[in-house]
């Protein structure tokens, strides 16, 4: 089999402006949703109590909600989780209450009602200070990833590549967040992990293309090529690998989406969005950016010998 029978280099750079406008529009949309709707943060970040209970038969959510409100729990969120028998209950933090006992009180309330007694499957209680720390740690981790990648790419390639890669891929991150804001999907710690993993993963995509760019620049036989031609050539000759790799990764993620259950659902969703936009941005956004930043053969072609030694 061979999916990609490409005779001539595809002139990606001719349409560079179009790609970037598309990406800019998506980006602005994401920012718009983030600004207007905000992220639906999980208890891990906001603090509060999350409980998962299982009934032996389909649960009456309204009855659960009512019995909780009647027992003095303010603003309980009750929803199904996976199946009709599983119920997820979210309770906001209440100041000055003995929050550690909330789960016991909820179970007592639910068991006291008529009908089937629920089984406690999971409790997550997060105090206010922990939530704040997690949010702070998350931002720090993001910063560290960005700085680390920029430094590494600047060392291995050139600052123009580093800057383009990080801009292209940060815009992926914003787009994933935009999706989560637009659809009000729950943003939890595993989703944060997925977002950061995607960041590393799609930078790796840019790296593969940049590697090719450098190789072509250094190739004596291809000296006559202009910069856009070099970029076109690099993208075209790696496109087969790009699609196959992402396809394989996506197969795994799809499997998680299908078999992983609710616990891995949004993790897999974040990865799916990240992979799709990762292909687009790390190739079709990062390369034009490199071009516009004024990359030249001389910047990469000169220190050939030194660079090769640095590989090992």
Partner 1 sequence: MNRYPLWKNALVIVALLLGLIYTLPNFYGEAPAVQVSTARTGVTIDAELMSQVENTLKQASIAHTGLTLDNSGVRVRLADTDTQLKTRDVLEKALNPDANDARYVVALNLLSKSPTWLRSFGALPMYLGLDLRGGVHFLLQVDMKGALTKRVDSMASDLRTQLREKNIRHGGINREGDTLALRFRDAAGRDAARGTVESVLPDMAWTTSESGGDFVLTGRMKEIAEKDIRESAIKQNILTLQKRVNELGVAEPIIQQQGADRIVVQLPGVQDVAKAKDLIGRTATLEVRLVDQEAMLSGNMDGLEVYPERARNGIVTQVPVKKQVILTGERFETAQSSFDDANRPAVAVKLDSTGGRIMRTVTRENLKKMMAILLFEKGRGEAISVATIQGEFGDRFQITGQFSPQETNTLAILIRSGALAAPMDIIEERVIGPSLGAENIEKGFNSTMWGFLAIAVFMIGYYMVFGFISSAALAANLLFLIALLSLLQATLTLPGIAAIALTLGMAIDANVLINERIREELRNGVSPQAAITAGYERAWATILDSNVTTMIAGLALLIFGSGPVRGFAVVHCLGILTSMFSAVVVSRALVNMVYGRARKLEKLSIGTVWKPGAGA
Q: Contacts with partner 1 in 2-21 (CB under 8 A)?
A: 2, 5-7
- Beta-carbon count within 10 A of 35 CB: 10
Note whether 278 and 3 are within 8 A (CB).
no
Of the pair 24, 263, the CB lying nearest partner 1 is at 263
Please state the closest distance from residue 63 (CB atom) to partner 1, in A. Answer: 22
Is 185 among the residues that bind partner 1 (CB under 8 A)? no
- Beta-carbon count within 10 A of 295 CB: 24
Q: Which of 263, 292, 296, 303 binds partner 1 (CB under 8 A)?
A: 263
Rounded to 5 degrees, what are φ and ψ at 57?
-135, 175
Query: Taking the alpha carbons of 296, 301, 306, 312 in that order, is the dihedral positive or negative?
Result: positive
Is 236 among the residues that bind partner 1 (CB under 8 A)? no
- Per CB under 8 A, which region of 17-25, 62-70, 184-192, 285-293 contacts partner 1? 184-192
Q: How many CA atoms lie within 13 A of 156 on its CB side?
A: 21
User: Alpha-carbon distance 275 to 200, whole Å?
Assistant: 11
Q: Which of 112, 140, 292, 302 binds partner 1 (CB under 8 A)?
A: 140
Is 201 among the residues that bind partner 1 (CB under 8 A)? yes
Note whether 48 and 40 are within 8 A (CB).
no
Q: Which of 24, 28, 35, 144 binds partner 1 (CB under 8 A)?
A: 144
Within 35-54, the residues that bind partner 1 by CB under 8 A are 44, 52
Of the pair 25, 112, the CB lying nearest partner 1 is at 112
By the 10 Å C-beta count (0-12 exposed, 13-18 middle, 19+ buried), 310 is classed as: exposed
Q: Which of 138, 178, 278, 288 binds partner 1 (CB under 8 A)?
A: 138
Is 311 among the residues that bind partner 1 (CB under 8 A)? yes
Note whether 62 and 94 are within 8 A (CB).
no
- Per-residue contact track with partner 1, 90 to 129, x per CB under 8 A? --------xxxx-xx--------------xxxxxxxxx-x
Q: Which of 174, 192, 231, 289 binds partner 1 (CB under 8 A)?
A: 192
Of the pair 22, 204, the CB lying nearest partner 1 is at 204
Q: Which of 84, 255, 302, 303 binds partner 1 (CB under 8 A)?
A: 255
Residue with tokens 């603003």: 75
Please state the closest distance from residue 183 (CB atom) to partner 1, in A. Answer: 21
User: Alpha-carbon distance 175 to 169, whole Å?
Assistant: 10
Cα 218–chain centre separation: 34
Query: Taking the alpha carbons of 232, 201, 181, 59 in that order, is the dihedral positive or negative?
Result: positive
- Please state, in angstroms and as integers, the Cα–Cα distance from residue 194 to each residue in 25, 265, 267, following that order: 24, 11, 6
- Per-residue contact track with partner 1, 58 to 97, x per CB under 8 A? ----------------------------------------
Of the pair 36, 57, the CB lying nearest partner 1 is at 57
Please state the closest distance from residue 69 (CB atom) to partner 1, in A. Answer: 23
């Amino acid at each position: 089999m061979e999916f990609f029978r490409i005779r001539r280099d595809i002139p990606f750079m001719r349409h560079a402006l179009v790609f970037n406008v598309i990406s800019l529009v998506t980006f602005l949309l994401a920012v718009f949703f983030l600004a207007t709707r905000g992220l639906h943060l999980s208890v891990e970040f906001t603090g509060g109590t999350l409980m998962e209970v299982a009934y032996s038969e389909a649960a009456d959510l309204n009855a659960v909600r009512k019995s909780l409100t009647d027992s003095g729990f303010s603003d309980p969120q009750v929803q199904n989780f996976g199946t009709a028998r599983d119920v997820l209950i979210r309770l906001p933090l209440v100041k000055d209450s003995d929050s550690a006992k909330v789960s016991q009180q909820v179970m007592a309330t639910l068991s006291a009602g008529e009908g089937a007694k629920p089984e406690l499957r999971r409790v997550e209680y997060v105090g206010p200070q922990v939530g704040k720390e997690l949010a702070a740690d998350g931002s720090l981790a993001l910063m560290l990833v960005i700085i680390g990648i920029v430094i590494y790419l600047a060392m291995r390639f050139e600052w123009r590549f580093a800057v383009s890669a990080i801009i292209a891929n940060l815009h992926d991150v914003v787009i994933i967040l935009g999706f989560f804001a637009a659809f009000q999907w729950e943003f939890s710690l595993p989703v944060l992990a997925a977002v950061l993993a995607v960041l590393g993963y799609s930078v790796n995509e840019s790296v593969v293309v940049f590697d090719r760019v450098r190789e072509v620049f250094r190739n004596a036989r291809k000296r006559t090529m202009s910069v856009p031609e070099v970029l076109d050539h690099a993208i075209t000759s790696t496109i087969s690998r790009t699609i196959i790799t992402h396809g394989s990764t996506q197969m795994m993620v799809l499997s998680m989406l299908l078999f992983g259950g609710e616990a891995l659902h949004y993790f897999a969703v974040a990865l799916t969005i990240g992979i799709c936009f990762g292909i687009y941005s790390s190739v079709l956004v990062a390369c034009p950016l490199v071009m516009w930043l004024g990359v030249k053969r001389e910047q990469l072609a000169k220190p050939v010998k030194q660079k090769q030694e640095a590989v090992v």
